[in-house]
Homo-oligomer: A and B are copies of this chain.
Amino acid sequence: MADIWDVAKLAGVSKSTVSRVITGGDHVKPETKRLVEQAMSELDYTPSYFAQAIRSGKTRTIAIVYPDSSNIFYNELIAAVEDVALESGYMVLTCNTRRSKQREREFIGELIRRNVDGVIFCTYFCDPEQLEYLLALSAKLPMVFMDHLFDGRDDVSMVISEDIQSNRHATAYLASRGCRRIGYLWLHDVTVTRYRFSGYRLGLEDCALPYDDRLVHLARNEASTESNTHIRLGYEGMKQLMSLDDPPDGLMTSTDILAIGAIQYLQEIHVPIPGRVRIVGYDDIEMSRLIKPTLTTISQPVHDLGHEAARILLRKITKGNAYNRCKILDPAFKIREST
């Protein structure tokens, strides 16, 4: 491969001048610039990524850390992030933690070692220790958090969809369709579902429905490779709820996949949906439009979330890490057959 000296020699200038052209050259005569560019294309020269990185400290690489590649939501999110990043000449390193705390840590270490310019972090675990660690990290390395709100902090950047009010309204909607015993199916130890659950409780209050914790099933959520784990959790959660003396006549869930598992169980025992039980999902994954009955769900503005997160991150990188923004985007409520 040609190096900067070859280009300099061919163009009849010094390597410093070539470097200036590469980096967007101030103080270089147009005629000289043309000569250098011609030499570069003639030699099919591209500057060595590492030599640039080691000297300038910039890698033009960002990373996104996310919990689960079997959840389409994250793949769409990544695609949206990539759109913005590639346009600005950044590559995206995707770090699938598979819901493993250990892998999360390992990735962070590797990203620091590789000097990424910034990180979009989809917080999965919500234990205080981990959050504290991330917060400290964010002071040094430009980060944008998703799926978790650090309350009252204006020194971090966050992009998240509005979960509390949207779940509140969806719960009230179920009540308005006649449901009196609305259950909730959610996942243990997952940051993002806490907001959704609190929206559910507010919705119950709004409609003067009592909160009954027997109607709430918290699925244990082990790190796993299997993509259909969550479907099974939904299936089994619903099974348990239906075994109550007073089974629910409505169900809120913290993700579509749980809802789909729940629907599978109900169909197996021939409980009509929405006749006997009405169900609301969360995410609006493609599948929710394809199953029968189609699933009423809360649809995150996934492309906007990704674009916004990437844009904020890039601005943090170029304008300095002190730049911070918090963006809360409204999801859409998609009413379909399941309610």
Q: How many residues of A contact B (CB 8 A)?
A: 43
Which residues of B sit under 8 angstroms from A291, Cβ to Cβ?
Answer: 290-292
Contact of A70 among B72, B91, B115 (CB under 8 A): B72
Which residues of B sit under 8 angstroms from A50, Cβ to Cβ?
Answer: 50, 53-54, 59, 115
CB distance from A95 to the nearest CB of B (A): 8
Partner-contacting stretch, out of A76-84, A126-134, A318-326: A76-84
CB distance from A24 to the nearest CB of B (A): 17
Contact present for A93 and B96 (CB under 8 Å): no
Which residues of B sit under 8 angstroms from A110, Cβ to Cβ?
Answer: 91
Contact of A93 among B49, B79, B91, B286 (CB under 8 A): B91
Chain A stretch 142-167: residues in CB contact (< 8 A) with chain B: none
Chain A stretch 93-126: residues in CB contact (< 8 A) with chain B: 93-94, 96, 98, 106, 109-110, 112-115
CB distance from A203 to the nearest CB of B (A): 28
CB distance from A276 to the nearest CB of B (A): 19
Contact present for A78 and B69 (CB under 8 Å): yes
Q: Knowing A50-B50, A93-B91, say if A76 contacts B72 (CB, 8 Å).
A: no
User: Roughly how many angstroms separate A225 CA and B75 CA in the complex, as a whole number?
Assistant: 12
Contact present for B91 and A49 (CB under 8 Å): no
Q: Does A227 contact B (CB under 8 A)?
A: yes
**Apart from A48-B115, A69-B76, what are 9 other A-B pairs with CB-CB below 8 Å?**
A47-B113, A48-B54, A48-B113, A50-B59, A70-B79, A227-B286, A228-B286, A231-B290, A291-B291
